[in-house]
Amino acid sequence: MEGHLVGDATGVPLTGWEFAWLDGRAIGAEPSWSFPDLARPLVRRARSLLDLDTGGGELLADLAPLPPHTVAVEGWAPNVPVARDRLTPFGVSVVTELPGGEEEFDVALSRHGRLPAADLARLLRPGGTLLSQQVGSDDLAELNAELGAPPPHAQRWAADDAVAALTAAGLEITDVREERPTLTFRDIGAVVYQLRSVPWQVHDFTPQRYDRQLRRLDALIRTYGGLTVTAHRFLVRAQRPE
């Protein structure tokens, strides 16, 4: 698809979980709670911290100062050097696999990352806390429908699914929240950037492959001033029993 907005969106480097390029071009999708605000008091009281799927380390850097033993896990190769550059000054160890030990961490965080219940139960110390914000399986499903693409997730993933998995692993649930805020794309470049940033949304996406659908969406956005779809977020807090 031609046009400088799409050209910009296809040329922006994608590393970490920094979406500043979308400021003013995609509006919304934030739940009523603030994950950093909920995480910060947990981090302040902890002596050891695990952050799953840290991206480029943006969240941990925002939460500094950090516990003396802090480990960030990031499995996507392009993000690893970005995270290490950002987090090394804070004394954070960035690894590509989950630690193999037991009862190592006071707090585990996972914002839009994995939620391996059995591993988290193994890695948390007795009394340790998990705080996770997840992207549910209904996230931006209308965007897929507009593009004629399959749904973003083959399996359902919602708050009750996470609660069931964590409870089965032996953790006690202390807080659950689930919301579906809206997200409005103000131009077609924002749509393209979003789909490049989260490739699991439309697995076979390229601007060329979806040229016809993008042109139709571009016309719709220009006519109505935006394309509004529904995000899906849920928050779970759990504790390993003493």
pLDDT of 6 reads 57
pLDDT of 94 reads 98
**Helix/strand number for the chain, H first, E second:** 9, 10
SS3 200: coil
pLDDT of 22 reads 64
Distance CA 112, CA 52 (A): 9
Count CA atoms closer than 13 A to 1's CA, side-chain side. Answer: 26
pLDDT of 4 reads 47
Given the DSSP bridges, would you call strands 48-52 and 69-73 parallel, antiparallel or unpaired?
parallel
- Note the pTM of the prediction, 2 decimals: 0.90
Q: Which residues of the chain have pLDDT under 70?
A: 1-22
pLDDT of 19 reads 58
